[in-house]
Amino acid sequence: MKKTVLSILFGLMIVPFALGQGYDIGDEAMNFRLKNVDGSYVSLSDYQDEKGAIVIFTCNHCPYAQAWEQRIIQIDKQFDPKGYPVVAIQPNDPELAPGDSFENMKKRARKKNYTFPYLMDETQEVYRTFGATATPHVYVLENEGKDFIVRYIGTIDDNYKDADKVEKKYLAGAVNALLKGEKPEPQKTKAIGCSIKDKKK
């Protein structure tokens, strides 16, 4: 009896921790409404006529984000027409990372001709709920009857330094698999990136 009570207690304790880990493959992504660099607000639900969305937590200041930036633009050009547009979200607190202020985001999006929204996660609740840890961090979401289901989590490819030396295009591979009705392989990858600058940490 004691054991049962204990295991129930432990069970209850573990649940909140599990939730704190962010999304895993198969989870339904939260809807969000965030301010875009053009002054409009963008929600995930705005994409309900698409096959899915490529949500990328990225920023201005991080050298890894900068190294992959051009490839993110290419990914959007390649997959937006196929129903998987890029939605970029800047998760850093600008007080901790001044390069990532809303003004600087606007400048960068304009200068680099972003073809996709670049949103400010002002309360940092979106990145925390997704469980993003670094920039850039990618979540491929598949639209399943208006629910956006997480199908791929991780990095863009296997060489941040040199686009010409990429051998494994993880992100493009994942989206192509989904377009064919297949499961991405791998579903999860990791990459070195800049930790997200959180005002609470």
* Binding status of residue 89 toward other proteins by CB under 8 A: no
- In the bound state with other proteins, the residue whose beta carbon lies nearer, of 49 and 167, is 167
Q: Which of 128, 189, 199, 200 is the binder for other proteins (CB under 8 A)?
A: 189
**Contacting residues for 47 by C-beta, under 8 A, at least 6 apart:** 53, 85, 87, 143, 148
| Mask for 32-71, x = binds other proteins (CB under 8 A) | -------------------------------x---x----
Give residues with Cβ within 8 angstroms of 102, minimum separation 6. 35, 37, 94, 120
Strands laid side by side in the 147-154 sheet: 41-43, 33-36, 118-120, 86-90, 52-57, 137-144, 147-154
Determine if 194 is a binding residue for other proteins (CB under 8 A). yes
2, 3, 161, 200: which one binds other proteins (CB under 8 A): 161
Q: How far is the CB of 124 from other proteins (least distance, A)?
A: 15
Q: Which amino acid is at 195?
A: S
Q: For other proteins, how many residues bind (rule: CB under 8 A)?
A: 27
Max CA separation in the chain (angstroms) = 66
Residue 196 tokens, joined: 């997200």
Reported as type and span, the H/E element at residue 65 is helix 63-79
* Exposure of 153 in the CB half-sphere (CA atoms within 13 A): 17
Closest distance to other proteins from the beta carbon of 65 (Å): 11
Q: Check binding of 199 to other proteins (CB under 8 A).
A: no
Query: Which residues lie below 8 Å from residue 124, measured CB to CB, with a gap of 6+?
Result: 91, 93, 196, 198, 199, 200
Shorter beta-carbon distance to other proteins: residue 60 or 143: 60
Judged by beta carbon, residue 37 or residue 126, the one nearer other proteins is 126
Q: Which is nearer to other proteins, 49 or 162 (CB)?
A: 162
Residue 25 in the binding site for other proteins (CB under 8 A) = no
Amino acid at 134: A
Name the residues that contact other proteins, by CB under 8 A. 63, 67, 96-97, 133-134, 154-155, 158-162, 165, 167-168, 170, 189-197, 201
